[in-house]
Structure 1
Amino acid sequence: MCTPIFMFCWCQIKPNFKIMNKRLLSCFIVGVVFLSLAAVSQSENEDDDDAAVVATEEEDPVEEDIIYRSPIPSGNVYFAEHFDDINQFSKKWILSEAKKHDVDDDIAKYDGKWEVEVPQKNGLTGDLGLVLKSKAKHAAISAHLDRPFKFTVKPLIVQYEVTLQEGQECGGAYLKLLSHGKHTADLRHFNNKTPYTIMFGPDKCGNDHKLHFIFRHKNPLNGTFSEKHCKKPKERLEEPFKDKLPHLYTLVVRPDNTFTVKLDHKIVNEGSLLDDFTPPVNPPPEIGDPDDTKPSDWDEREKISDPEARKPDDWDEDAPAMIPDPAATKPVSWLEDEPQMIPDPNAEKPDDWDSDMDGDWEAPLIPNPICESDAGCGPWEPPQINNPDYKGKWRAPLIDNPNYKGRWNPRRIPNPDFFEDKDPFRMTDIAAVGLELWSISNLILFDNIIITDDQTVAETWASETFDLKRRKLDKDGESLFSRLVTYTNEHPWLWAVYVIVIGLPIVLVLVFCCGSSNQEREEQRRVAEAKKTDAVSPDDVDEQAPAKATKSKSQLEVQEEEEEEEAAAEASGGELDTETPKAEEAVPEVAGDVPSSPKKRPSRKEE
């Protein structure tokens, strides 16, 4: 529908294009744009009448509200905490009354402050979180699981949110899944030595950004525990530590000994419990014999100096590397008797100078200005050049060592501590979840912790919490342009409207206005050239028609005055020149607006 409108408009513009005023053309284009908008809008309304709901003029468009309700987990859940119920939180979570081991007593107490409160900005209505309020203090808090998690035939899924509301300079925001046993019976004694099964979450200090996954493995031979650290993720993880936005951390550990780590639903690390941890779960079956020693005649040198080589007789080890240039000569203008530095002639002894205390005063030295205008001053020395006879210290060339036996290693023996655990997934049961942290930055917010063995349960929990939160943040931070792009992507037909309404008018403006401006300048140049002569041009006829009428009227008045003068002359008996007025009357008929002779034109005083 828009194309015929523009075709019609072009047909109307084209015949009068050269004389159209720019302002009128601009108004015309604006009118065309509005007509196009109206046409497209009408066309779209006609197409969507059957499917769209049309709002009345009195109704305002209603934006979609993101409504948050405290999630209620369904399915097999061992622990779920959204922190929205402060009373329930105070019954469930226990502050540590212990002290941190291996630190000074004056800083060992867990005196960091915890509060349940709303996020600093852009939070959901009714959504609370657990916030670490203190900085540079040890803080510990924990809660029992609803029932212990046992590593049998179902996966372990741990998921929670962290918002570093002030960013992070140095400190952790990880969870500890505390092992079942006597150490977790009373969580008031929770400290850094409390046994844990898994530690998972972000940690940073300086430029070292980590996403921990550490599990404690039990040695089946002696029952001791050792920490196994997961390989580092391949992706860089700096952004969550500085963007001050909520982030979702998910760990999945499966009975087939595989694991997956996710950040905001995206996999950032995965692998095997057997192959991707340091130190490895299973020790090597053989080790070097600790009692074996290297023989005294074992030669590990691969190359040796040639014992038969001799230094040449002409080899001078004492020759210097640099010598004075023998071809250099002192410049003629060199002032050898002039010093390079002289006392400053403008310097004055300070008023407070005490000769007894400070000694004899001497003016500070400055570069000799005479030396700047000549080749140089002071004692002349030739420049240094490389010594062609310099060879340095002589060394015998290297040859293969005939006694080389290779690098010595102790003989291999069976590892007495060897074991093979083919199922490291079967870790110690988990009884509680705890936060035992120290951080330079405060206001670390934790939220929506869940421990389950069902992936669907964890995904549903995230969709009712984290996903709503991020959607609201995206909506609040969305610019007008990004909203327009999003809406356009949802309604692709709008791209055609943009081309017609925006693109085509721009092209028309460039073509019409710029083209018209060039033609007008050419026309003005032609007229200016024509005005350089007194020849009559067609434009002069049109433009000076009013001037002719004005000049004709003035000549009639002059003729009447001349007739009055003739009458006065006859009365006085004088003679009249009757040919001159006739010539003057004939001038307008022949020459148009050519002015009369100044001798016959009446003066301004006469008029």
Structure 2
Amino acid sequence: MELSAGKFLCLFALLSVVSAEIFFEDRFDDEWEKRWVKSDWKKDGDGAGDWNHTAGKWFGDENDKGIQTYPDYRFFAISAQFPEFSNKDKSLVFQFSVKHEQKLDCGGGYMKLLSGDVDQKKFGAETPYSIMFGPDICGYSTKKVHAILTRNGKNHLIKKEVPCETDQLTHLYTFIIRPDATYSILIDNVEKQSGSLYNDWDLLPPKTIKDPDAKKPEDWDEKEYIPDPDDKKPEGYDDIPKEIPDTDTKKPEDWDDEEDGEWTPPTIPNPEYKGAWKQKKIKNPNYKGKWKAPMIDNPDFSDDPDLYVFPNLKYVGIELWQVKSGTLFDNVLITDDAEYAKKVAEETWGKHKDAEKAAFDEAEKKKEEEEKANEKNDIDDIDDDDDDADDTDAEDSHEKDDDNNKIEEEATSTHDEL
């Protein structure tokens, strides 16, 4: 029996999904608190934030909920455990969605993968992690996607810039690490950055280094330009004055040399003066360029075919500080199959993004209308206050007129008595 091309593709897609290994997946149903552990980190001193289970203020489906940070000026730490695994010989796909409803001005929206045994009730900023990934925003300077990999106890930041989304809608962030030590970073299912773990992180010492024993030869000439030996200063060049007497100016007729002193005409810039003489420069025929030490193999370099491997991943967590709370996390996925991650993205974020955008636009329109109405009410209140003030001023004026009349009457009466 032969399969049509369409049926074959459907069967292939089904087999791909079936073969995907899902290490962790959470869409935050009503039992989410059974899987996630809130940390006591920063609880002393009222510094720890909490989490709301909500779809947010605007959404594509009110039943599609995540967990949202609250209140403001807090530290947030929460984690979930999954069966320990290694990504050796397979891809590692880390994906989740983030929505900054509060129009975030300073705070993180990233998540972490942790290895080994972790006390989840003490999970915090000092807890070692294996991977940190996701958006971070603070002011005008920081608006980027973090992709930090830990090796031998040291955190290594990606050397490339990956701008993050900064609006108030849900966005999907995906980090793929492959067995060939290549990677991709996607936002909303679109690749924004890719490359090699070797090149884009300093996970290993460099393969080559400058020869520490190399010395610049004594006759090495690094001067690109030299004075032109044929260019000579013209005779009398230095005798040309910068200013000369203004010959068009005459001594005033009322000038008295005995009383005013000897008259000297004012000076003006000399059109013949050309400034300080500078010798012309020419290309140096002996120029050899800037000297650089030759590169040699680094004796400290040792390749690691398992550079991409994280051998005992066991937890996923959110740990961050926010000035303004309101970030909503959802659809967390850890798998070995990028196609499955894409499928999840399409049936979650992709399915609801248009309706969410419409709901957001409607909320913004309503907000704008309310602001205009409030402005009108404020103006009306000011006008009413002005009318009241006019009435009060009129009453005050009448009172002042009555007082003035009384004073005038008293003054007239006194005058009559005199």
Instruction: Give TM-score, length-normalised by structure 2.
Output: 0.67
- Alpha-carbon distance in 1 for matches of 2:245, 2:50: 76
- Alpha-carbon distance in 2 for matches of 1:437, 1:323: 73
Distance 1:449 1:324, change over 3 A: farther
> What residue identity is the alignment partner of 2:50?
K
| Larger CA Rg, structure 1 vs 2 | 1
Distance 1:400 1:252, change over 3 A: closer
Where 1:157 maps in the other structure, the secondary structure is strand
Where 1:124 maps in the other structure, the secondary structure is coil
Query: In the alignment, does 2:300 pair up with 1:417?
Result: yes
Query: In the alignment, does 2:312 pair up with 1:429?
Result: yes
Distance 1:295 1:230, change over 3 A: closer
Query: In the alignment, does 2:146 pair up with 1:212?
Result: yes
- Alpha-carbon distance in 2 for matches of 1:268, 1:452: 20
Which residue of 31, 39, 50 corresponds with 1:96? 39
Which residue of 101, 107, 110 corresponds with 1:171? 107
> Corresponding residue for 1:499?
none
1:107-118 equivalences under 5 Å are 111-118=48-55
Work out whether residues 328 and 383 of structure 1, in 8 Å CA contact, stay in contact via their aligned partners in 2: no
Distance 1:123 1:314, change over 3 A: same
> Corresponding residue for 1:446?
329
- Alpha-carbon distance in 2 for matches of 1:259, 1:297: 47
> Corresponding residue for 2:124?
191
Unaligned runs of 5+ in 1: 1-72, 101-105, 331-380, 480-607
- Alpha-carbon distance in 2 for matches of 1:132, 1:192: 16
Higher normalized helix content (fraction of residues): 1
Which residue of 170, 185, 190 corresponds with 1:246? 170
Distance 1:401 1:96, change over 3 A: same
- Alpha-carbon distance in 2 for matches of 1:328, 1:187: 93
Work out whether residues 20 and 336 of structure 2, in 8 Å CA contact, stay in contact via their aligned partners in 1: no
Which residue of 275, 280, 289 corresponds with 1:397? 280
Unaligned runs of 5+ in 2: 1-17, 252-264, 363-418
> Corresponding residue for 1:232?
161
Where 1:142 maps in the other structure, the secondary structure is strand
The C-alpha deviation readout for 1:232-280, integer Å capped at 9, x for no partner, is: 34xx65xx312x11112222222233323222222322333334x143x
> What residue identity is the alignment partner of 2:111?
L
CA-CA distance at 1:153 after TM superposition: 2.8
CA-CA distance at 1:401 after TM superposition: 4.7
Which residue of 162, 180, 183 corresponds with 1:256? 180
- Alpha-carbon distance in 2 for matches of 1:169, 1:190: 25
The C-alpha deviation readout for 1:475-531, integer Å capped at 9, x for no partner, is: 65799xxxxxxxxxxxxxxxxxxxxxxxxxxxxxxxxxxxxxxxxxxxxxxxxxxxx
Distance 1:295 1:226, change over 3 A: farther
The C-alpha deviation readout for 1:188-224, integer Å capped at 9, x for no partner, is: 33233433222221122314421222323x4xxxx56
1:512-531 equivalences under 5 Å are none
- Alpha-carbon distance in 2 for matches of 1:470, 1:170: 24
CA-CA distance at 1:433 after TM superposition: 0.9
> What residue identity is the alignment partner of 1:95?
K
Which residue of 12, 15, 23 corresponds with 1:78? 23
Query: In the alignment, does 2:100 pair up with 1:157?
Result: no
Root-mean-square deviation (CA, aligned residues, Å) is: 3.7
Distance 1:76 1:408, change over 3 A: closer
Where 1:393 maps in the other structure, the secondary structure is coil
Query: In the alignment, does 2:270 pair up with 1:270?
Result: no
> What residue identity is the alignment partner of 1:466?
W
Work out whether residues 169 and 357 of structure 2, in 8 Å CA contact, stay in contact via their aligned partners in 1: no
Distance 1:315 1:77, change over 3 A: same
1:480-519 equivalences under 5 Å are none
Distance 1:257 1:297, change over 3 A: closer
Which residue of 198, 222, 227 corresponds with 1:305? 227
Instruction: Give TM-score, length-normalised by structure 1.
Output: 0.48
Higher normalized strand content (fraction of residues): 2
Where 2:320 maps in the other structure, the secondary structure is strand
Work out whether residues 59 and 356 of structure 2, in 8 Å CA contact, stay in contact via their aligned partners in 1: yes
Where 1:196 maps in the other structure, the secondary structure is coil
> What residue identity is the alignment partner of 2:330?
D
The C-alpha deviation readout for 1:387-417, integer Å capped at 9, x for no partner, is: 3211211233334557655423335443121
> Corresponding residue for 1:68?
none
Kindly indicate whether structure 1 or structure 2 has the higher relative contact order, using CA contacts under 8 Å at least 6 residues apart. Answer: 2
Q: What is the total number of aligned residue pairs between the two structures? A: 331
